[in-house]
Chains A and B, each alone.
Chain A
Amino acid sequence: MIEIVMWICGIMLGLASIACVIRVAKGPSILDRVLALDVMLLIISVALCLEMIYNKHTDFLLFVVAACTLGFIGSVTVSRYVSDQRNA
């Protein structure tokens, strides 16, 4: 049964990441791109969790925690940078 679940989840995550990549390519402003990349990082964390479930190990737990922190730092940094040049 876990095989079928993995296929369904993988297809959903793949479609979601394709949508994110399209938004990163199109995105009218840099903030849209940051949002899309943030969601991309979440998708990567979810994929790490799925891999841990499929192979029954816990090696990637710290990567998941690190990905959460990285996404926060990235989006805050970029939005600070954007709001500093608001008169440009």
Chain B
Amino acid sequence: MEMFLDILVAVFLILGCLMSLIAGIGLLTFPDMLTRMHAATKPQVLGFLLIFTGLAIHLRSWAVVPVLALAWGMQLLTAPVSAHMIGRSGYRTKHAAKDSLYADELKLVVDKVSSMPATGVIEVPEEEKK
């Protein structure tokens, strides 16, 4: 049983660190910002889950599980928000390579907003929403 748990820990740790390596390679080799964002989110959820599970199993302790669940839940909640913010500001500042997109659903709203004075109300015509 001990041997089995040790092997489990080793597999989890190596897979978790592999996620970080994948993120690094992706950051280095992908061509533009949106694809790099895709690579950068690899270790945030799955990598942390593997590492935290390995840590809890290796310490053989239930007492660390709530803290690790807190850290992981925090990642789970904040990763989409920060990715959304980065993607949004990348779109707005023309850092994202828009020619490589297959579908651009935000273009309609952004064009609308940037062509009118700043009133704070966005009106998209009914037939264009479809």
Closest B residue to A19 by CB, please name it. B24
Q: Mark A5-47, 1 if CB is under 8 A from B, else 0.
A: 1001100110111111011000011011011101100110110
Q: A9-B13, A29-B90, A46-B47 are in contact. Are A20 and B55 (CB under 8 A)?
A: no
How many contacting A-B pairs (Cβ < 8 A)? 159
Which residues of the partner chain A approach B18 to less than 8 Å between Cβ atoms?
12
Interface residues on B, range: 35 or more
Closest A residue to B86 by CB, please name it. A79
Closest B residue to A85 by CB, please name it. B93
Q: Mark B55-91, 1 if CB is under 8 A from A, else 0.
A: 1001101001001101100110011011001101110
Name B residues whose Cβ lies closer than 8 Å to a Cβ of A.
6-7, 9-10, 13-14, 16-18, 20-21, 23-25, 27-28, 33, 36-37, 40, 43-44, 47-48, 51-52, 54-55, 58-59, 61, 64, 67-68, 70-71, 74-75, 78-79, 81-82, 85-86, 88-90, 92-93, 95
